[in-house]
Amino acid sequence: MMTNPLTSKRPANLGIHDGHLAICDDQHSSVSSEAPVEDRTHYIAPLELGDRTPAQLMKRLQTAIAGCEQAEVITATDTYLHAECHSPLGFIDDLEFFWSEEEGVCHVRSASRLGVTDLGKNRARVEKLRMLLEGWGFCD
């Protein structure tokens, strides 16, 4: 897998800050369940827990990511997961999941490290993972 030196540096805003994932900005293509619902460019629905515990959801996400993305899980706990998704051209997107006990949902953020457009890849990635979690059980 080729790595692009312009996109290989991990952003400093990753992780949980004051109980939230980083906000989406207009400098990078991204989607987030913590963006305002009226922000049609950035908002994406959070993941539902279903009949799983938060720890089971995170494990299932790790399995789905490993099976369907050119991705490497960087951090995984019972309530947070960060993976780096690699494109064939060497670009890296950061994919994060955070279980919010307070809200009872799993927030998600997928963000390109470089560029203001990704041709819908971040949104498609999250929706594909959502289908896998809901039992559709396939990836392309």
The pLDDT of residue 7 is 55
pLDDT single digits (tens) 104-139: 999 999 999 887 677 788 999 999 998 888 775 545
Q: What is the pLDDT of residue 119?
A: 77
pLDDT in tens, 16-29: 999 999 988 877 78
Q: Is residue 6 part of a domain?
A: no
**In terms of pLDDT, which residue wins out, 136 or 55?**
55
Give the Cα separation of 107 and 19 in Å (integer): 11
- Does 34 reside within a domain? yes
What's the number of domains the chain is made of?
Answer: 1
- For residue 58, the domain's CATH number is 3.30.310.80
Q: Is 1 exposed, middle or buried (0-12, 13-18, 19+ CB in 10 A)?
A: exposed
pLDDT of residue 68: 72
Do the domain assignments include residue 69? yes
Residue 12 lies in a domain: no
Q: For residue 48, give the nearest of 123, 131, 122, 121 by alpha carbon.
A: 131
39 within a domain of the structure (yes/no)? yes
Domain assignment present for residue 2? The answer is no
Range of the domain at 112: 30-133
Specify the DSSP class assigned to residue 20. Answer: B
Does residue 77 lie within any of the structural domains? yes
Classified as helix, coil or strand, 57 is helix
